[in-house]
Amino acid sequence: MAHTTLMMIKPDAVENGHIGRILEKVTAAGFQIKGLKLTQLSKNDAERFYEVHQERPFFGELVAFMSRGPIVAAVLEKENAVSDFRTLIGATNPAEAAEGTIRKLYATSIGENAVHGSDSDENAEIEAAFHFAGRERF
């Protein structure tokens, strides 16, 4: 059965010119793109998207980073999409990410780590609805 996850290519990876290479890895790994856009989060959007982290010491830095430039948001579909996508992107800290993962290849630090992936099926739906209207999903 096909499951959904929500990807963001974060501002660092967009700035560094990695959109095409990341989308290629994602589709080569068997994910189908069901929604796709270049967009920018306002500070308020970033605060809402990462609300669960609001008490963490890095929250201000995270919000400033995520809102500083364009991102690519995508709805992805695949069997076991959430866990398979997190395997494809690698550990939060690129220094600990496995060889060949997107964060190992394209992230620069634990804060500026190239991509976001949903952490549960429930959050994938919430995050997809955050970024996409119904008619933007296929």
113 binds ligand ATP (CB under 6 A): yes
Query: Closer to ligand ATP at the Cβ: 119 or 121?
Result: 119
Tokens (6 digits) for 41: 């989060």
116 binds ligand ATP (CB under 6 A): yes
Compute the least distance from the CB of residue 53 to ligand ATP, in Å: 6
Compute the least distance from the CB of residue 17 to ligand ATP, in Å: 19
Does the active-site annotation cover 3?
no
How do 71-78 and 32-39 pair as beta strands? Answer: antiparallel
Annotated catalytic residue within 3, 18, 53, 116: 116
Rounded distance between C-alpha atoms, residue 14 and residue 134, angstroms: 25
Q: How far is CA 55 from CA 52, 58, 62, 136, in A?
A: 8, 9, 12, 33
Q: What is the DSSP string of 61-77?
A: HHHHHHTSS-EEEEEEE
- The binding track of 29-68 with respect to ligand ATP, each residue x by CB under 6 A or -, is ------------------------x----x--xx------
Rounded distance between C-alpha atoms, residue 12 and residue 113, angstroms: 8
Q: Which amino acid is at 14?
A: V
Q: Which of 92, 95, 100, 108 binds ligand ATP (CB under 6 A)?
A: 92
Which residues of the shown chain bind Mg ion in the complex (CB under 5 A)? 119
Chain residues that interact with ligand ATP, rule: CB under 6 A: 53, 58, 61-62, 92, 110-111, 113, 116-117, 119
